[in-house]
């Protein structure tokens, strides 16, 4: 246990990639505790961890998102969002928020969302007199909706690590995503009133219909996923395959924007990025094995229940620990390290695993917009050319909004669970 912990900390601090930190710590643990007969188990556990049909939803959803990103998709979604919310006070900031939401229905990636919407919206907002750091921060926080709204790679990884129904997790993320969009909109409107940001001219019904018509092939993608999974027409992996082929058909025949070079790049980058995720999942299966041997999940439960037996206090502690870890470690790493213990805590408290999953995924996503290593802050800083610290300061109140959503999700399981129940996926 000491060997495991000290090797982990040492290799983490010298900047070793998290997958190897976990792998090497496992190796050190087996060697130092004299259990070298378990070394044969390592490649076996890695293969078993990767050899899961549900995980194939990852490359297929990544592929669907990158294919859909061809030829003016972002403009189309933003045009549609603008035709509806542009007329309110702070219209462009609302367009940015709901544009991020719609983009999230195509791509599960917060980084892609922040980059796509940020590239288009920040220059527009700047022209209309919006503060650049404010605009950048708003888009960074709004991009967290991408991994909440289906499709979501984060939900698939959580489901695979915890054995929770991925179909239910995907649908359960939708309502928290909408809640975040609504609360961010309220915040953006109050800011716009205070700083008297402009409104866009109201568009006629005909223009709204036209915007909708242009965007509808894209908007159908998440609908296909949700309707397909609902009532078990497809498994999550099959839904992902259908989403990818649908994206390919729409990009090729409806938008006529597909080129051979783009297609090839989309397929190859899908394989490359999925390889890294699979490798992490493989290593997670070794880590899980050691956690079980050392009974770490049980110890975590004993530790937390020793401090308090009030479930809300325990959930508060869990959320604080996760937020803290999410600030410094990469998201998949946090999930690998904590999911076994979280499942044990969930069991003890009698929590629904889908509810727990949405809470945990939302929580670790907040790490994307907190310094020092927030991925979305990093992306939006690259897009806007502004220093990350300035954007992080501007993002503080919005992170507060995200934490309110986290608190609501934690306290009211129904926010996550009513949609899966309503749609009969449970």
Partner 1 sequence: MSKIWRAYVAAVETFCFAGIAAILIVGVLQVFARYVLHSSLFWSEEFMRYLMLWIVAFGAGISYTRGQFLGMRMVVEKLPPAARRVADVVAAVCVLIFLGVIIWYGSKFSWGTRRQTAVALSISMFWIHISVVIGALLLAIHVALNELLGVARSPAREEHVMGAEEAL
Q: Which of residues 54-83 bind partner 1 (CB under 8 A)?
A: 55-56, 58-60, 62-63
Q: Angle 375-384/110-127 helices, nearest 10 degrees?
A: 40
- Which range touches partner 1 (CB under 8 A), out of 45-53, 88-96, 395-403, 404-412? 45-53
> Would you call 387 exposed, middle or buried from its count of C-beta atoms within 10 A (0-12, 13-18, 19+)?
exposed
Instruction: By CB under 8 A, name the one of 4, 21, 141, 339 that touches partner 1.
Output: 21
Residue 164 and residue 178: Cα distance in Å, rounded?
22
> Is the CB of 112 or the CB of 359 nearer to partner 1?
112
Q: Which of 179, 326, 282, 172 is nearest to 164 (CA)?
A: 172
Among 73, 78, 161, 277, binds partner 1 (CB under 8 A): 277
Q: Identify which of residues 81 and 241 has a Cβ nearer to partner 1 in the complex.
A: 241
Nearer to partner 1, 79 or 151 (CB): 151
With binding defined as CB under 8 A, does residue 3 bind partner 1?
A: no
The tokens for 82 are 């603008």
Gap between the Cα atoms of 27 and 11, Å rounded: 12
Residue closer to partner 1, measured from CB, 18 or 102 = 18
Which one, 122 or 377, has the nearer CB to partner 1? 377
The reply on whether position 9 binds partner 1 by CB under 8 A is no
Q: Which parts of 139-168 interact with partner 1 (CB under 8 A)?
A: 147, 153-154, 157
Q: Which is nearer to partner 1, 86 or 367 (CB)?
A: 367
Pick between residue 314 and residue 337 the one whose CB is nearest to partner 1.
Answer: 337
Contact pick of 43, 123, 163, 387 for partner 1 (by CB under 8 A): 43
Q: Can you spell out the DSSP letters for 132-192? A: HHHHHHHHHHHGGGTTTSSS-HHHHHHHHHHT--HHHHHHHTHHHHHHHHHHHHHHHHHHH
Three-state DSSP class for residue 182: helix
Q: How far is the CB of 212 from partner 1 (least distance, A)?
A: 28
Sign for the CA dihedral angle at 56, 57, 60, 62 comes to: negative
- Region of 93-101, 196-204, 305-313, 370-378 interacting with partner 1 (CB under 8 A): 370-378
Contacts (CB under 8 A) with partner 1, residues 224-243: 233-234, 237-238, 240-242
Among 216, 223, 257, 276, binds partner 1 (CB under 8 A): 276
CA gap 332, 20 in Å, rounded: 13
- Residues 297-356 within binding reach of partner 1 (CB under 8 A): 328-332
Residues 95-114 that bind partner 1 (CB under 8 A): 108-112
Nearer to partner 1, 125 or 140 (CB): 140
**Residue 254 Cβ vs partner 1, minimum distance, rounded to whole Å:** 18
Where residue 200 falls (left for φ over 0; alpha for ψ -120 to 50; beta otherwise) is beta
Q: Does 23 bind partner 1 (CB under 8 A)?
A: yes
Would you state the structure tokens that stand for residue 307, as one six-digit string?
């401090």
CB neighbour burial string for 240-259, b if at least 16 within 10 angstroms, e if fewer:
bbbbbebbbebbeeebeebe
Q: Is 13 an interacting residue with respect to partner 1 (CB under 8 A)?
A: yes
Contact residue for partner 1 among 200, 267, 390, 421 (CB under 8 A):
267
> Taking Cα atoms as reference points, which of 380, 305, 351 lies closest to residue 144?
380
Cα-Cα end-to-end distance for the chain: 39
Cβ 378 to partner 1 shortest distance, Å: 7
Residue closer to partner 1 (CB basis): 62 or 102: 62
Q: Taking a C-beta distance cutoff of 8 angstroms, is the pair 356, 341 a contact?
A: no
Counting contacts by CB under 8 A, is residue 253 touching partner 1? no
């Amino acid at each position: 246990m000491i060997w495991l912990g000290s090797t982990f900390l040492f290799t983490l601090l010298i900047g070793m990639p998290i997958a190897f930190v976990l792998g090497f710590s496992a190796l050190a643990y087996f060697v130092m505790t004299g259990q070298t007969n378990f070394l044969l188990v390592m490649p076996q556990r890695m293969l078993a961890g990767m050899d899961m049909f549900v995980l194939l939803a990852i490359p297929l959803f990544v592929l669907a998102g990158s294919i859909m990103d061809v030829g003016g998709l972002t403009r189309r979604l933003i045009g549609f969002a603008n035709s509806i919310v542009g007329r309110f006070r702070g219209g462009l900031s609302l367009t940015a928020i709901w544009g991020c939401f719609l983009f999230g229905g195509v791509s599960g990636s917060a980084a892609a969302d922040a980059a796509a919407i940020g590239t288009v919206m920040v220059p527009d907002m700047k022209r209309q007199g919006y503060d650049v750091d404010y605009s950048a921060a708003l888009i960074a926080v709004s991009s967290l909706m991408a991994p909440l709204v289906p499709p979501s790679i984060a939900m698939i990884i959580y489901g695979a690590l915890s054995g929770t129904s991925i179909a239910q997790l995907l649908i359960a993320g939708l309502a928290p995503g909408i809640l975040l969009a609504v609360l961010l909109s309220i915040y953006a409107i109050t800011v716009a009133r205070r700083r008297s940001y402009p409104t866009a001219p109201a568009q006629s019904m005909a223009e709204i219909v036209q915007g909708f018509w242009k965007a509808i092939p894209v908007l159908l993608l998440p609908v296909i996923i949700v309707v397909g999974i609902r009532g078990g027409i497809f498994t999550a992996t099959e839904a992902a395959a259908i989403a990818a082929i649908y994206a390919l058909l729409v990009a090729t025949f409806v938008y006529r924007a597909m080129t051979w070079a783009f297609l090839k790049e989309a397929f190859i980058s899908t394989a490359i990025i999925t390889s890294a995720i699979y490798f992490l999942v493989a290593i997670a299966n070794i880590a899980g094995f050691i956690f079980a041997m050392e009974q770490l999940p049980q110890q975590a439960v004993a530790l937390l229940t020793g401090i308090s037996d009030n479930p809300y206090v325990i959930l508060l502690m869990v959320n604080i620990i996760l937020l803290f870890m999410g600030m410094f470690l990469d998201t998949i790493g946090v999930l690998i390290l904590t999911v076994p213990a979280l499942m044990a805590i969930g069991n003890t408290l009698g929590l629904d695993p889908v509810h727990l999953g949405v809470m945990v995924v939302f929580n670790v996503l907040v790490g994307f917009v907190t310094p020092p290593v927030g991925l979305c802050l990093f992306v939006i800083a690259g897009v806007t050319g502004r220093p990350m610290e300035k954007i992080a300061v501007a993002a503080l109140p919005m992170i507060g909004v995200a934490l309110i959503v986290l608190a609501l999700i934690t306290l009211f399981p129904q926010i996550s669970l009513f949609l899966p129940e309503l749609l009969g996926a449970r």
